[in-house]
Amino acid sequence: MDRGDRTDPGADPYAMAADAARAGLVREIAAGGWLTDPGWRAAFEEVPRHLFVPYFYEAGGEGEARGAAVYARLWRDDRDPLRRARWLAGAYADAPLATRVRDGELISSSSQPSLMARMLHALQVRDGERVLEIGAGTGYNAALLAHRLGDAQVTTLDLDPEITETARNHLAAAGFRPAVVTGDGARGCPSRAPYDRIIATCAVPSVPQAWLGQCRPGALILTPLATGLIALRVADARHAEGRFLATPAYFVPLRGSGPPPSVPTHGLPSRPLLDDSFRFLLNVATGHMEPVEALALWEHEGRPGRERYGVTVRGERQWAWLDDPEGAYAWPLGPAVVGA
């Protein structure tokens, strides 16, 4: 969908420099093969990311008192021109940006743009479809969706009213007005359902039942789970199934779902622990398989990558599996994120 230029260049002192930096970022993402859809390429070319990250944080060392990471802020109104230049360069780097830090803990971020492009590509969205985004973040991803589909087709949701307020302001500054809703991500947004696509930018331990109930039959849910991205095709309000993408994905957990479970590594040699595909198996089967057993399975099955794993939802039951939903290797998902 052609949205045209929705911002006022005269009101943005960084517009010209940002245009050049954004063009470089688009070339970098396109070189990876993730902007083959002209609609998504246009969105990345035209949505000004720097308006969504007026400041962000860089890890600057270790705190002396509690060992917590110390973050230094870069922001657009810094009096130091070199720090302002670093801020603008960072806004268009192909890297995640820490945007909210509380007591040394990262609570919100802007995802790596190339990963966002991969996720939007995997969403397989078509004109006229309605999308629910779980996790508003800075509003940048919602702006990309709104550019592609139109404001009326996009809803973005977050539990934290400060995050939704900030996202709403960023979106307005960039000329977008999708629905920005404050609420529990696990419960979705029933008032604007049904949806053709649900995309989450926060990790879940299992798939909230409420999401399925707010989808049209045939809808697609794309969500981070167990350091991967699962793409689920929805049959109805109680049934969905799909496979993980090959792409690694590390996201902040959905608020209210609790911290991710500790992944056991005792008794394992260091070499397999360095392999990302093995660590994924440890994550997806946490609590249901001893580490040495997981290592034996991984090696026996040819060191499978993420794309060989999947997830099935059947009513109250959810499980992850290797190669076949009814095969020998399957692990219950949980704790359940039920929603209502």
- Go through the domains of the chain in sequence order and give each one's CATH number: 9-183 (3.40.50.150), 184-340 (no CATH)
Instruction: Please report, for residues 107, 130, 205, 220, the alpha-carbon distance to residue 125 in angstroms, rounded to integers and kept in the order given.
Output: 28, 9, 25, 9
**Angle between helix 291-300 and helix 276-284 axes, rounded to 10 deg:** 120
Q: Identity (one letter) of the amino acid at 222?
A: L
Give bridge partners of residue 311 from the DSSP assignment: 242, 320
Q: What is the pLDDT of residue 339?
A: 43
Output the tens digit of pLDDT for each of the chain's 340 residues. Answer: 545 456 565 578 888 999 999 999 999 999 999 999 999 999 999 999 999 999 999 876 554 445 556 778 899 999 999 999 999 999 999 999 999 887 767 777 899 999 999 999 999 999 999 999 999 999 999 999 999 999 999 999 999 999 999 999 999 999 999 999 999 999 999 999 999 999 999 999 999 999 999 999 999 999 999 999 999 999 999 999 999 999 999 998 887 666 666 666 666 667 777 789 999 999 999 888 888 999 999 999 999 999 999 999 999 999 999 999 999 999 999 754 444 3
Q: Furthest-apart CA pair in the chain: how many Å?
A: 62
Q: What is the pLDDT of residue 2?
A: 46
Question: Tokens standing for 326?
Answer: 């009814």
d(CA 209, CA 139): 25
d(CA 117, CA 313): 27
Question: Tokens standing for 35?
Answer: 């902007």
If you write DSSP's letter for every residue of 173-200 in order, what string do you get?
HTT---EEEES-GGG--GGG--EEEEEE
- Count Cβ atoms within 10 A of the Cβ of residue 176 and give its class: 0-12 exposed, 13-18 middle, 19 or more buried: buried
Question: Tokens standing for 29?
Answer: 């993402």
**Catalytic residue (choose from 108, 110, 114, 206):** 108
Report which DSSP code applies to 310: E
Angle at 323 between CA 317 and CA 326, to 5 degrees: 40
Question: Tokens standing for 187?
Answer: 């419960």
The pTM is what?
0.90
Q: What is the pLDDT of residue 324?
A: 97
**Helix, strand, coil shares of the chain as percentages rounded to 5?**
35, 25, 40
Question: Tokens standing for 194?
Answer: 């049904």
**Residue whose entry in the numeric block shows the structure tokens 């995997």:** 122
Q: How many CA atoms lie within 13 A of 69 on its CB side?
A: 13
Sheet with strand 215-225: strands edge to edge: 179-182, 154-158, 131-134, 195-200, 215-225, 228-236, 239-244, 309-314, 317-322, 330-332
d(CA 150, CA 290): 48
Q: What is the pLDDT of residue 289?
A: 86
Alpha-carbon torsion, ordered 148, 149, 155, 157, to 10 deg: -20
| 191: annotated active-site residue | no
Q: What is the pLDDT of residue 337?
A: 46
Q: What is the pLDDT of residue 12?
A: 82
Strand residue runs (E) in 51-103: 55-62, 69-75, 97-102
